[in-house]
Structure 1
Amino acid sequence: MDDLQHADTVLITGSNITENHPVMGAALKRAITQHGTKLIVSDPRNIDVVRFADVWLRSQPGTDVIWINTLAHIILRDGLHNQEYIDERTENFTAYSQSLAKFTPEYAEKKCGIPVAELEKAAHLYAKGRSAILYCMGITQHVSGTDNVKALANLAMLCGNIGIQGGGLNPLRGQNNVQGACDMGALPTTYPAYGKVIDESVRARFEAAWDVKLSESNGMTSRQMFDAVDAGTLNALYLIGENPVVSHADSAHAVHCLEKIPFLVVQDIFLTETAKLADVVLPAACFAEKNGTFTNTERRVQRVRKAVTAPQGARDDAQIVCDIAAKMGTELIQDNGENAAAVFDEMVSVTPSYGGLTYSRIDETGIQWPCPDTESKGTPILHAEKFVCGKGKFHEVDFVAPAEEADEEYPLILTTGRVLYQYHTGTMTRKSTGLYAKAPAAYLEISRNDAAAYNVNDGDRVKVSSRRGAIEVSVQLSEKAVDGTVFIPFHFAEAAANVLTNSAACPESGIAEVKVCAVTIEPVGD
């Protein structure tokens, strides 16, 4: 966060930063107003942070690869790239540069709707000086999500902006401990510290540490699990802190699967919409009711301390998992709610990037991994000397259209996201009367021109339909909306935006394309 003040330019894409990451948003605004940092924003909506921007790239949803490659095309054309960095630290540059030939500014204007002059201005701003890229789920929740990130990585390497203060390719994590969960192996293809499940040497190390035989195959993504339930090949599911009835793309399919599965366990802090479908509910303690660590979006490992006692019957997540393991005949560290330090020590022993961390070292201020030994003070900036794999590889990335585009039957493009006063599926925030007063219900954000075309006014009720389902919401005329694109926040179960969204997924990451789907609207009365 503090690094932003050292950037000459920041490029934000796929992130409504001031609403979804307000702490980072505040740091960005300080960098702009107090340190003169320039800002490029790419977003299909006229979000709040656009008012701070030097350039707003208003692209058609799902066309990110085109405008990113076009910025690179302009930078190469005008000789603004960092050839010394490219020669010393990267590979496959020639093939990559040749792949950019078709991505002219004129082509991008036609495909994305961004004027040539804005593309030229953005490319020159990004290429001159130290530039950071911030991105979030608006760039990843597409069938081309992995390609979008590769294209951004290409752009950063092209200008030598990885491994320097004020630079970087920086994902903004969607929830408060996503980074820590991934670091600890909560992914279907990796162990702690991102060792590959299918790598025999990595697997052998964890087998020795845990004294257990481990699978040679990757696990399933969340979407693959639900497809397996539908196919009848997965018969039990254990969900911890997950509410797919509201959060999954094409959520009607998720409900169908959860009703179909023979055995469903849900572990959560409230009786969520998903928990109501469970065979067994395990009440868990919330973050303020237990000890442990979080790892934030900066890779900073931080202490979390128990502040209040959990309600009767609610228990620490780790305690529940350890007790279940014990019932199944496996003896783990018994976390009685006060033994988090022992769990942390075991985590550190199998996670080289956490190797130098101890509770005493992070007692007051967190440390950013990699921190390989106790002499290390952590690593604020990754890839300063070299990339983990040696040289950074340029990838040739072509445009892949969204799985669904507007047509005569469904002429509007829907994109979804969060609002400042609610959080994810609303499990916690919707129980707060103050937050409820600020954001009580779902709505359809729409431009005045589109509202006039459908003969609807501010506050009218409308039915929003896609190929998968329909919901009813109130109309909200908004200056954020642009013609042809509408927005619905996904927090509200009674009008769940994900009833509408498409489950088509990125083939590499498995993430569903919830940021682009075709819809139509019709008035339903006051």
Structure 2
Amino acid sequence: MAKKTPRAPYVRLTRPLVRDAGELRPASWDEALDRAAEGFRRNVEAHGPDAFGMFSCARATNEMNFVAQKFTRVVIGTNNVDSCNRTCHAPSVAGLAAAFGSGGGTSSYQEIEDTDLIVLWGSSAREAHPIFFQHVLKAIRRGARVFAVDPRRTSTARWADRWLGLNVGTDIPLANAVAREIIHAGLHNTTFVERGTSGFAEFAASVEPWTLEAAERETGVPAAAIRELAHAYARADRAQLCWTLGITEHHNATDNVRALINLALLTGHVGCYGSGLNPLRGQNNVQGGGDMGAIPDRLAGFQDILDPAVRTRFAQAWGREIQPRHGLNLTDMLAAMGAGTLTAAYIIGENPTQSEADAEHTVKRLGLLDHLVVQDIFLTRTARMADVVLPAGAAWCESDGTMTNSERRVQRVRKALDPPGEARDDIDILCALARRLGHDWRYERAEDIWDEVRSLSPIHAGMSYARLEERQGIQWPCYSEDGEEPSFLHSRLWETDPEARGRPAPFAVLRHSPPVDRLDQEFPLRLTTGRRLDSYNTGVQSGGFASPLRRGENVELSPEDAERLGVTTGEQVRISSRRGTVTAPAFVDPALRPGLVFMTMHFPDEVNTNSLTIEATDPIAGTAEYKATAVRVEKVGGN
């Protein structure tokens, strides 16, 4: 196949831009900030604070995310703040919080290396999380078994002892069948179930219909493989269950997460060293953004915004009452734009015109805004729609502060370079806007912001910069500077004293709900989307260079489907859904089973995959069903 010439790379923004007569033109910082602030003021005065929405950035520091959500709640007066956590792991946060009270992964990376069995469910970790996968490889070298549960036989699955290739959207039937087999074989941990959980009887009754044979018919996974997974997971002394977007990007994603949590509760594989439940985060600070309160229902430290004592503590520190209700999440904000009730938006480091499901619908909604301000390092497709574009100095080597990874480890990052041209630090920009809107914010150092976080968030209280330097990162919770933080969470569930145990972790009764976008004669194939090792998200940072790994976007087909269509690798095909059509080269991949198609969102300037995906969302978390789109594929120019 002939190599495609890479598109020209995005050029760093170095000057502010403002829109005049429909076009963006260079402007001074004073003009740009004045326009941005005046637009926000005008919209709040006309429509109220809830007509404003903030999209914060999961690649920026904890300190930036803290200031962004504070700007939203204090300067504007709304809880309408969210980040790309909504696109990927909001269901993980919701599911873990419902079971345990907090939304972080339960284990450390070291425990991955020391465990006996690893289940990677809906996770192509080798490509999507290559650093984490090194810990998996270390575990394999010391004898750990690996099960991969994924519709595709990915490069991750090829490292596994057993691959369970399930049909897209059948995770709950599979998990329920695993649970039923564990119960019927008498392998559930009765001590832990009685001590640390609730609702077992109802749960056991709910999984009873999911025999191995029934699950095989629904999921496509052989009954023998389901039984093997059930026995291996239940019998392991230590077991880690890890997942990614194959679990969370569904219309019933929170239920998917709860289904996996059920398995850990059933076997006692949580709350002890070496066993745990771990959502693998896709961006460098998606965990930290949520921890800092850049979500609509929680304040920093994952504190419930509906708790009067929590709101009072923040109001006393900030000098403004916090609204006693949940704000709009990212999905809700986009819907409110379409309805005309959200009229102004401030987007920092996100590119929703290319990352959101049914992307062209998102473009139309953003186009309805009275005032859009985008703060970024590149002129993305979203930035090209803005009324004001603010150039940020927020590349990985241009910021000082902290970030939090998937194991809840807070680590220092340090500024090594000044941003190019007139670009300014994200926090400086936020504070300059706050001052124009009547709040005299002047943080001298990132550490000043972090100390404010520590004063308000109990789980971060013991993490001074000095201690973070000394320890080379600390996992939350860390309540005091002389205390030790646990490497794993929820050990309380094993306590014999009921008072020390606290609230038991509830089992969830879950029903199977097939993908919303149903297959039929017109759209007979199932498109699922994901990531590749060589590229990153919407391609802004990784798409504009030549690489021996980079092959651009493809429509990946099974050999059987390619033969039926008369298509070979490199030939152009047209792929259509009920929402749109794109054209791209075919790539015949034996990792795919018949009926399954795979694409990424890495190359939207060439092929906008998200113009195909469906906007059906999880009602709890608001995450869209990127993983289950009904499509048809046709050979371009063919019969």
Q: CA deviation at 1:440?
A: 4.4
String of CA shifts for 1:181-234, please: whole Å, max 9, x gaps: 110001111111111222222211211121111112211111111111111111
Aligned pair partner of 1:322 in 431, 441, 446: 431
Partner of 1:101: 208
Kindly provide the amino acid, as one letter, of the partner of residue 574 in structure 2: K
Q: CA deviation at 1:482?
A: 1.3
Query: Is 2:227 the partner of 1:114?
Result: no
Partner of 2:602: 491
Kindly provide the amino acid, as one letter, of the partner of residue 196 in structure 2: R
Partner of 1:507: 619
Query: Is 2:330 the partner of 1:222?
Result: yes
Partner of 2:103: none
Partner of 2:521: 408
C-alpha contact 2:572 2:586 (8 A) present in aligned 1: yes
Kindly provide the amino acid, as one letter, of the partner of residue 513 in structure 1: E
Distance 1:389 1:222 in 2: 33
Distance 1:430 1:54 in 2: 34
Distance 1:452 1:369 in 2: 52
Distance 2:404 2:308 in 1: 28
Distance 1:273 1:173 in 2: 24
Structure with more contact order per residue of length (Cα contacts < 8 Å, sep ≥ 6): 2
Partner of 2:464: 358
Residues 251-270 of structure 1 mapped to structure 2, 5 A cutoff? 251-270=359-378
Q: CA deviation at 1:398?
A: 1.1
Query: Is 2:176 the partner of 1:69?
Result: yes
Partner of 1:429: 542
Q: CA deviation at 1:115?
A: 0.6
Q: CA deviation at 1:525?
A: 4.4
Query: Is 2:417 the partner of 1:308?
Result: yes
Distance 2:250 2:307 in 1: 28
The alignment partner of 1:205 has SS state of helix
Distance 1:389 1:23 in 2: 35
Q: CA deviation at 1:332?
A: 2.4
Kindly provide the amino acid, as one letter, of the partner of residue 441 in structure 1: G
C-alpha contact 1:17 1:24 (8 A) present in aligned 2: yes
Q: CA deviation at 1:523?
A: 1.3
String of CA shifts for 1:77-103, please: whole Å, max 9, x gaps: 000110001111111111111111111
Partner of 2:51: none
Partner of 1:420: 533
Distance 1:349 1:180 in 2: 17
Residues 459-478 of structure 1 mapped to structure 2, 5 A cutoff? 459-478=570-589
Aligned pair partner of 2:157 in 31, 47, 50: 50
**When the two structures are superposed, what TM-score results if normalisation uses the length of structure 1?**
0.97
**What 5-or-longer segments of structure 1 have no aligned partner?**
none
Partner of 1:349: 455
Distance 1:247 1:89 in 2: 40
String of CA shifts for 1:210-263, please: whole Å, max 9, x gaps: 111111221111111111111111111111111011100000101111222111
Q: CA deviation at 1:507?
A: 0.5
C-alpha contact 1:333 1:343 (8 A) present in aligned 2: no
C-alpha contact 1:267 1:281 (8 A) present in aligned 2: yes
String of CA shifts for 1:274-304, please: whole Å, max 9, x gaps: 1111111011111210101000111000000
The alignment partner of 1:163 has SS state of coil
Query: Is 2:248 the partner of 1:140?
Result: yes
Partner of 1:296: 405
The alignment partner of 1:67 has SS state of helix
Partner of 2:72: none
C-alpha contact 2:529 2:600 (8 A) present in aligned 1: yes
C-alpha contact 2:195 2:493 (8 A) present in aligned 1: no
Partner of 2:28: none
Distance 1:499 1:389 in 2: 47
Q: CA deviation at 1:139?
A: 0.2
Aligned pair partner of 1:92 in 182, 199, 224: 199
**Identity between Structure 1 and Structure 2 (%):** 40
C-alpha contact 1:246 1:492 (8 A) present in aligned 2: no
Q: CA deviation at 1:453?
A: 1.2
Partner of 1:191: 299
C-alpha contact 1:303 1:362 (8 A) present in aligned 2: yes
The alignment partner of 2:443 has SS state of coil
The alignment partner of 2:241 has SS state of strand
Aligned pair partner of 2:491 in 368, 378, 384: 384
Aligned pair partner of 2:381 in 264, 270, 273: 273
Residues 515-526 of structure 1 mapped to structure 2, 5 A cutoff? 515-525=627-637
C-alpha contact 1:12 1:134 (8 A) present in aligned 2: yes
**When the two structures are superposed, what TM-score results if normalisation uses the length of structure 2?**
0.80
Residues 442-481 of structure 1 mapped to structure 2, 5 A cutoff? 442-481=553-592
The alignment partner of 2:632 has SS state of strand
Distance 2:136 2:355 in 1: 28
Aligned length: 520
Distance 2:484 2:541 in 1: 36
Q: CA deviation at 1:389?
A: 5.9
Partner of 1:179: 287
Partner of 1:206: 314
Kindly provide the amino acid, as one letter, of the partner of residue 505 in structure 2: G
